[in-house]
Structure 1
Amino acid sequence: MPMGDVDGWRTLGVRLAQLRRAAGYNQHSFAPLTGYARSTIANVETGRQRAPREFWQRCDELVGAAGSLLSLYDQAMRQQQGPPSMPEEAELEAVDTHAAPTTVARTSMSPVDPAIVPHWMSMLRILAASHDAFGPRRLHDVVRGELNIIRRHRAGAAGQTLRELLRVESRWAEFASWTADNLGDSQDAAYWLRQSLSMAREAADGRMATYVLMRQAQRAVERGDSAQAIALAEFADARKESTARDRALCAVRTAQAAALAGRRARCQSALQKAHSLVGAAEGLDDPDTIGLHCTRTYVLAYEGQCHLILGQAKQSIAVLEAVLRAWPSAYRQDEALARAWLATGYANLGRVDEAADQGEQALTIALDAGSIRLIKALSRVEHELRSRRVTDEAQRFRDRLALADQVVGRMGQ
C-alpha cells in the first residue's frame, strides 16, 4: 500500500476517534450503533483496516461530523492507487459459518414476479403468529430454508423488486434471529440481526433498521449490559422513522436498561412514554408496523419486570397479577415470562407456594414451546427459592425445572 494511502486512512481513523470521544462514546458503546464489532472500530481508528463508505456515513451521523468524515473518506479513496480492497467482514458476535452472505451474485434466472413479495410477507406473519403461540421448535430451520429461497430470487431481481425483496429478507432475517434467541443460540441470533440490519440499510428501510437496533438493545438488556442497551434504544428512538408501537418498544427497552442501572426516574419516564405511544396507536396502526405485539398489556408486563429489577417486589406483584388476569391467549411465551417474573416476586417476599405455582405454569408453556430462553428466565425463580423454606410444591417445581433444563437443552443442540 502506498505511503500516502496509509496516511489518508490513518488521518481518517484519528479524526473518528477524536469525534467519537467528544460525542461521549467509548468503542464498546459506539460499535453496535454502527453495526460493526468493537475490534473493527479499533482497527479503523488506527488505520489498520478499511471500511466501506456506508460505515463512514453512519459514523458521520452518530458523531455529528456534518460530512467531514465522509470528506476525509473520499480524500483517502482518491489517494489510493489501484482498485480498493474488500473491507474485512466484521460481526457484532461470532458469525454462523453455515449461513450464506448477504451479497449475492447476480444470476441469469428468469425475471422475478413482484407478486412473490406479498406472499413472503403473509407467510412471515403466519409463522410469527405460530411462534408466539407454540414456540421456536422446528420453526428456525423452516425460516432459514425460506431465507435461502428468498436470497436466490433476490439474485435475479432488479429495481424496485430487488429493493422489496431486500426488505422482505431483512424481516425474515430478524425473525430467524428471534427464533435462534429462543433456542438459546446467541451467536446465530447475533448473526441474523446483523444480516437484517445490513439488508434494511441497503433497502433504505429505516423502520426495519430502527427495529433491529431495538432488538439489539433487548439482547443487551438480557445480557445485563445496561449502558449498551440504553445507547442502542435511545439511538433507535431518536431516528423518528418508526410507528408509535415500534417507538414504544424502544421506550420499553430504555426502561429495562434504566432499571438495571438503578435509575428509577429514567425508568419511570420511559414507561410513561411507552404507555403514551401505545395509547396513541390504538385504532390507528400503520400497516407497516412491525411490533404489533407491543400492546398496553405488553408494556404493563415489562413495567412489572422493571419494578422487580429495582427491588420493588410488592409493586411488581400488583402489576403482574392484574395484567395476567386478562392476558391475550395468542402471546403464550410472553405470558410465561410474566409468570416467571411474578414467581420471582413471590419468592422475594417468601410466598414460596405461590412462587412455585406460577413457576409451574410458566414451565409448562416453556416445555410446550421448547424455549431455552424461557427456561433460563425461570432459573432466577429457582435461585430465589434456594434460600426459602422447602415445601413439597417448591421442591416439585425445582426438580421439574432441573429436568426441563436438560431435556430442552438437548432439543436446542
Structure 2
Amino acid sequence: MGDHDEITTARHALGRHLAHLRKDAGHTQHSLARLVQYGRSSIANTETGRQHPERPFWTRCDQMLRTGGVLTAEYDRIADLNHRRHRSPARPRSASLTSDNAAVWWEPEDTIAARRSALTTSIDDDARLAHLEDEVRQAIADNERCPPATLVARLRPLRACVDQLMAGRQHPPQRARLYTAAAHLSGLLAALALDLRAFRVAHAYAAEAFDLAHAAQQPDTQAWARATQSLVAFYTGNHRDALAYAEDGLRHAGTGPHRIRLTINGQARALAHLGDRHGVDRAVDRAFRLLTEHPPDGQVSTSLTLGPYCPLRTAANAATAYLTLGHTTDVASHLTTAIAAFDTAQLRGPQALSRLDLATAHLHADDPDQAAELALQALTLTADQRFESVHQRTHQFLTAAHPLRHHRRIQDVADLLADRTQPRAAPPAGLRSPT
C-alpha cells in the first residue's frame, strides 16, 4: 500500500472512530457540532472521510467527548505521515514539471479541503441564522405578554448561539445578518434587564445593541437600537439622555419605520418630563403625520417592534406625554380605545400602563373611585410580570393622588404597590455578551 492510500485509510478510520466516540457519549451530529463550534455537515463529512479538519477540531472533540486525547494523537500521526510523504522526492510528471516547481505551484490537499469546509459551514450557518432571527422576532412579540424572567430563560440558548456564530467565519452577508440579529437580541435583553431592575446591565445591553447595529452597517437597526437606549434612559430617570438618543436615532432612521417610535416614545415623553409643552406638541403632530406613511395592518405593535408603531400605541404614548404635563383634553377617549385593543392583544404591559394613565386622567376629573379601580386593575394584571414601567407609573399615579392619600381605595393602591415591592429573589444574572 502506498503512502497516499495509507493516509486515506487512516483518515477514514479516524472519522469512524469519531463517530463511535460521539455515539457512545450520547451526542447527535447536531449536538456535537454546537459544542465544538463547527457545522453539522462538517461533523458528518469528517466521520465519512470526505473532510479533513485541522488539529484544533480534533482537540475540541477530545475535550467535549472526554477521550483523553486519542483523536488528536491519531491526527498527529496522520499529519506526520502526510508531512513525510510530501518531503519525499517526487517523480516529475512531465519535462516541464519537476519536483521543485511542483512544491511551488500546488497547495496541500488539506488547505483545499479547509476552504471547502468553510463553504459547507456557511450553509449550516444559514439555517442557524434563520433560527436565531425567527426566535428573536418571536421573543420581541412576546415581550409584553410573558414575565421578563421567563423570557430571559428562553433567550439563554440564543445568546449561546450568537457566541458560537461570532466565533466562526461567515460570508459578509451572513455576518451582517448575524450582527443585526445579535443587535435585536441585545436590545431585547436591555428591556428585560430594565424590567428586572438590573439598570446597569440594561444600559450595557442597550449600548451593545447599538454597537452591533453599527458593525452591521444597518442604519435601520441603529435607529431601532437608539430607540431602545432612549427607553432605558427614560425609565432610569435620564430624560435628557433619552431625548438625545431619540434624536440621534432619527438621524439614522432616514425614511424608515422607526421614526414614529423615536418621535412619540422617545422625543415626546422625554420633552414632557423636561417641561417643554411646545416640543411635545411638535413631536406628537409629527408622529401622527408619519403614521399616514405606514398604513395600519390591524395589528397592535409591540413596544420593541421591528416595524412602525401602530396608531393606537402612538395615541397611548401621546396621552402619557400630555398627562405628564397635566393636560387631559381628549386623553380619556384615546386611552379607552387603546385599552380595548391592548386587552384583545393580551399585552400585559400596555394594558396596565394605559389603565394607569386613564386613572390619572380620572384624578384630574375628580373621580378618585374610578381612578383607584383602574390602578388596582393595572397592578392585578401584571402581578406576575412586575414590569418596571408599571411600577414607576403607579408611583406617579400615587404622587398625583397625594392630596387623596387617605381615601380608602387610593390607600388600597398604595398598599398593593408596597406588597409588590417587598424584597424577592434576585433576578437572573446577566447573560454573557459576545466577544
Could you state the TM-score of these two structures normalised by the residue count of structure 1? 0.66
Structure 2 Cα separation of the partners of residues 162 and 322 of structure 1: 43
The change in CA–CA distance for 1:294 and 1:268 in structure 2 (over 3 A counts) is same
* Counterpart pick for 2:137 among 95, 100, 125: 125
* Counterpart pick for 1:297 among 293, 312, 317: 312
Structure 2 counterpart of 1:197: 210
Structure 1 counterpart of 2:323: 308
Q: Is 1:396 matched with 2:412?
A: yes
The change in CA–CA distance for 1:390 and 1:321 in structure 2 (over 3 A counts) is farther
Structure 2 counterpart of 1:137: 149
Q: Is 1:156 matched with 2:156?
A: no
Structure 1 Cα separation of the partners of residues 374 and 243 of structure 2: 30
CA contact (8 A) 1:184 1:373 kept: no
Q: Any runs of at least 4 consecutive aligned residues in structure 1 with deviations exceeding 6 A, and if so which?
A: none
For 1:323, what is the secondary structure of its paired residue? helix
Structure 2 Cα separation of the partners of residues 302 and 284 of structure 1: 19
* Counterpart pick for 1:262 among 249, 262, 275: 275
For 1:313, what is the secondary structure of its paired residue? coil
* Counterpart pick for 2:121 among 92, 97, 111: 111
CA contact (8 A) 2:234 2:270 kept: yes
> Rg bigger for which structure?
2
* Counterpart pick for 2:227 among 205, 214, 221: 214
The change in CA–CA distance for 1:256 and 1:330 in structure 2 (over 3 A counts) is same
For 1:370, what is the secondary structure of its paired residue? coil
Q: What residue identity is the alignment partner of 1:155?
A: A
For 1:354, what is the secondary structure of its paired residue? helix
The change in CA–CA distance for 1:389 and 1:153 in structure 2 (over 3 A counts) is closer
* Counterpart pick for 1:345 among 344, 348, 361: 361
After TM superposition, give the deviation of residue 183 of structure 1 in Å: 1.3
The change in CA–CA distance for 1:201 and 1:217 in structure 2 (over 3 A counts) is same
The change in CA–CA distance for 1:267 and 1:292 in structure 2 (over 3 A counts) is same
For 2:418, what is the secondary structure of its paired residue? helix
Q: How does 1:31-70 map to 2 (within 5 A)?
A: none
* Counterpart pick for 2:345 among 308, 329, 335: 329
Alignment length (residue pairs): 301
Structure 1 Cα separation of the partners of residues 239 and 162 of structure 2: 36
For 2:398, what is the secondary structure of its paired residue? helix
For 1:280, what is the secondary structure of its paired residue? coil
Q: What residue identity is the alignment partner of 1:373?
A: S
CA deviation vs aligned residue, 1:326-345 (integer Å, no higher than 9, x gap):
43424221121111122223
* Counterpart pick for 2:421 among 390, 405, 412: 405
Structure 2 Cα separation of the partners of residues 381 and 118 of structure 1: 43
The change in CA–CA distance for 1:335 and 1:267 in structure 2 (over 3 A counts) is same
Q: What residue identity is the alignment partner of 1:295?
A: C
For 2:293, what is the secondary structure of its paired residue? helix
The change in CA–CA distance for 1:365 and 1:292 in structure 2 (over 3 A counts) is farther
For 1:157, what is the secondary structure of its paired residue? coil
Structure 2 Cα separation of the partners of residues 367 and 317 of structure 1: 24
CA contact (8 A) 1:206 1:242 kept: no
Superposed CA RMSD in Å reads: 2.6
Unaligned runs of 5+ residues in structure 2 are: 1-116, 299-303, 429-435
Unaligned runs of 5+ residues in structure 1 are: 1-107
Structure 1 Cα separation of the partners of residues 382 and 391 of structure 2: 6
For 1:281, what is the secondary structure of its paired residue? coil
Percent identity between the two aligned chains: 20
CA contact (8 A) 1:166 1:199 kept: yes
Q: Is 1:174 matched with 2:184?
A: no
Could you state the TM-score of these two structures normalised by the residue count of structure 2? 0.63
The change in CA–CA distance for 1:183 and 1:302 in structure 2 (over 3 A counts) is same
Structure 1 Cα separation of the partners of residues 335 and 297 of structure 2: 27
CA contact (8 A) 1:343 1:355 kept: yes
CA contact (8 A) 1:366 1:372 kept: no
For 1:402, what is the secondary structure of its paired residue? helix
Greater mean deviation of Cα atoms: 260-269 or 303-312: 260-269
Q: What residue identity is the alignment partner of 1:331?
A: L
Q: Is 1:383 matched with 2:399?
A: yes
After TM superposition, give the deviation of residue 290 of structure 1 in Å: 4.5
Structure 1 Cα separation of the partners of residues 308 and 146 of structure 2: 15
Structure 1 Cα separation of the partners of residues 196 and 128 of structure 2: 29
* Counterpart pick for 2:285 among 267, 272, 277: 272
